[in-house]
Amino acid sequence: MTKHLWDRLNEAKARLEPVQSQYRVLFENPEDLDAPASVLVPDPNWMAAALAGGVLPPIDTYQRDQGVADGQPKEHPYAAPMGAMTEEEAIEYLVMKDVPPQVWRDYKGNRCIMKIVPVEMIPTDRSFRNAWKINQEMELA
């Protein structure tokens, strides 16, 4: 019988060293053009579990659970865990789990509204944080 996801997370936290990702996900909300760009920061314990494998459920269980009403039984805590991911695959998994679908799946416009960037590219000066937008100047090969 598969252990509950929360039990697996507890066990993984005791066993695995946290892994601070070197990447961040920058994204803009296409439904609120005035909002500043958001920055997704992967959790180091979650990243360690993703890289080790045997802890996290398949991403499609979360996607099916998004349609489940609050308080009703969900699939992802009881799903069999998947294998190890690379850091790139783990970031893609996080995008599908924690970034709104209108950003990574449904947007059809020309503006670049999501980028996966090295952490060094995130400004440390937050003086004008609420004016942050994704730079649209792309280098062409």
Partner 1 sequence: MSTLNVANITDGTDTVETGYVVNGSAKAFFSNSQTSIDESLNISSIVDSGTGLIQGFYTSAMASANNPLTSGNNNVASGGAHNYSTGFSGASSATHYFIEREYADGTAVDVDRVSGATLGGLA
- CA angle centred on 122, ends 117 and 125, rounded to 5°: 175
Stretch that binds partner 1, among 80-88, 101-109, 110-118, 125-133 (CB under 8 A): 125-133
Question: Is there binding between residue 39 and partner 1 (CB under 8 A)?
Answer: yes
Question: Is there binding between residue 38 and partner 1 (CB under 8 A)?
Answer: yes
Q: Distance between CA 104 and CA 95 in Å, rounded?
A: 7
Question: Is there binding between residue 115 and partner 1 (CB under 8 A)?
Answer: no
Burial (CB count within 10 angstroms: exposed 0-12, middle 13-18, buried 19+), residue 138: exposed
Stretch that binds partner 1, among 6-14, 80-88, 105-113, 133-141 (CB under 8 A): 6-14
Q: Which two tokens stand for residue 134?
A: 């994704």
Q: Distance between CA 55 and CA 69 in Å, rounded?
A: 25
Applying CB under 8 A, the residues found at the interface with partner 1 are: 4-6, 9-10, 13, 20, 35-36, 38-46, 56, 65, 70-71, 73-74, 76-77, 94, 97-98, 122, 126, 129-130, 132
